[in-house]
Amino acid sequence: MLKPFTLIALALLAACTTAGAAGPGIANSKWRFVAIDGQKPVSSKAELTIDKDRIGANVGCNGMGGDLQVKGGKLVIGAVVSTMMYCDGLMDQERAVSELLTADPAYRIEGDRLSLTGGDHSAELIGSDRSVAGNES
């Protein structure tokens, strides 16, 4: 009885520590922000897109994104690049999302909800299209 449990535990541990492209359930998915640091998004266009090895966000004005790897329950994002337009009323939330992404946020998916936490910031998102181009699962 102990041997099957040990094999399952080892498999789960390996899955948690393996670095690589985004895995099933998060790869090729699109999410809509419902809260940024506990506040409703200023723009209804605020969204996050996760591809196999890239992540992109737009809080309603500037686009931002970077290379992506998943490591042990965290989204490890390379240098985040962004357009730099001034958008009245959106800058605080854009800054918060940018800082969140550069903090290699921990993520959790429960049903159609995605939670991100990292640094001093957090975001709650809901799946807006869990099957964007290329994801057949």
Distances (CA, A) of 4 to 11, 17, 33: 11, 20, 41
Nearest-angstrom CA–CA distance, 37 and 51: 24
pLDDT in tens, 50-82: 999 999 999 999 999 999 999 989 999 999 999
> How would residue 6 be classed by pLDDT, with cut points 50, 70 and 90?
very low
pLDDT score of 134 more than 50: no
pLDDT at 128: 84
Q: Is 69 left (phi over 0), alpha (psi -120 to 50) or beta?
A: beta
Please state the pTM of the whole predicted model: 0.76
Rounded mean pLDDT, 24-35 = 88
Closest CA to 100 of 84, 68, 77: 77
Predicted pLDDT of residue 110:
94
The predicted pLDDT at position 25 comes to 65
- Which of 13-17, 24-28, 111-115 is the least confident region? 13-17
Higher pLDDT among residues 47 and 20, named by residue: 47
In tens, the pLDDT along 78-126 reads 999 999 999 999 999 999 999 999 999 999 999 999 999 999 999 999 9
**What counts of helices (H) and strands (E) characterise the chain?**
2, 10
